[in-house]
């Protein structure tokens, strides 16, 4: 039985109807699968503007930022760019020989791309920071954790900003 035919209880059986309905649902699922398969933009790849790359190169040299091991908690929508809460924590080891030396905060479209660096010692016993930042417009907010061994781990979230908080 073809899709679209009227199920009047005489021409087609209940089984036929169910089979057709399952086929239609399957087609929908395949469509959703195709959408999901489209690659998400990579914040550390093609979504990393050249001027941000320069800022990172000036600070970290040729070391590259690997995504992961850092949790960045920022709102996706920030109506007021004058005060955007930012919370960064890490799941990196914290022992005296291998600890988080710094958490760096970078905002792509701010006048100062490198917004802040929080330098820690092993004496802190944990690595997290909670503060409030200004944002000029919709942009990625990036948190980069630098370990005492020189590894760089990052997380990035796009924050939609309505009110310019930077001037």
Q: How many CB atoms lie within 10 A of CB 131?
A: 13
Nearer to another protein, 3 or 97 (CB): 97
**Closest CB to another protein among 48 and 105?**
105
Q: Does 166 bind another protein (CB under 8 A)?
A: yes
How far, in Å, CA of 94 to CA of 162, rounded?
Answer: 38
Residues 87-146 touching another protein, rule: CB under 8 A, are: 107, 110-112, 114-121, 123-134
Nearer to another protein, 12 or 69 (CB): 69
Q: How far is the CB of 39 from another protein (least distance, A)?
A: 31
Q: How far apart are CA 125 and CA 99, in angstroms?
A: 9
Which of residues 20 and 102 has its CB atom nearest to another protein in the complex? Answer: 102
Residue 160, CA distances (Å) to 76, 84, 131, 164 in order? 6, 11, 18, 11
Minimum CB separation of residue 49 from another protein in Å reads 17
Can you tell me the distance from the alpha carbon of 70 to that of 81, in angstroms, rounded to the nearest whole number? 23
The distance of closest approach from Cβ of residue 99 to another protein in the complex, given in angstroms and rounded to an integer, is 11
Question: Tokens 């917004």 correspond to what residue?
Answer: 115
Number of residues that bind another protein (CB under 8 A): 30
Closer to another protein by CB, 16 or 112: give it. Answer: 112
What gap in Å lies between CA 133 and CA 158, rounded to an integer? 14
Q: Which residues contact 159 (CB under 8 A, 6 or more apart)?
A: 74, 75, 76, 77, 78, 84, 135, 138, 139, 140, 141
The interface with another protein within residues 63-92 (CB under 8 A) comprises 82-84
Binding site residues, another protein, CB under 8 A: 82-84, 107, 110-112, 114-121, 123-134, 165-167
């Amino acid at each position: 039985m073809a899709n679209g035919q009227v199920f009047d209880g005489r021409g087609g059986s209940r089984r036929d109807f169910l089979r057709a309905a399952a086929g239609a649902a399957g087609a929908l699922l395949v469509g959703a699968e195709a959408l999901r398969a489209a690659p998400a933009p990579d914040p550390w790849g093609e979504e990393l503007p050249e001027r941000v790359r320069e800022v990172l190169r000036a600070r970290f040299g040729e070391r590259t930022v690997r995504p992961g091991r850092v949790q960045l908690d920022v709102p996706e929508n920030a109506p007021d760019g004058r005060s955007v809460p930012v919370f960064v924590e890490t799941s990196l080891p914290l022992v005296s020989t291998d600890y988080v030396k710094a958490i760096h905060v970078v905002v792509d479209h701010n006048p100062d791309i490198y917004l802040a660096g929080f330098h820690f010692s092993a004496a802190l016993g944990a690595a997290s920071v909670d503060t409030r930042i200004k944002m000029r417009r919709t942009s990625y907010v990036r948190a980069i954790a630098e370990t005492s061994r020189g590894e760089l781990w990052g997380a990035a979230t796009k924050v939609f900003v309505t009110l310019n908080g930077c001037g």
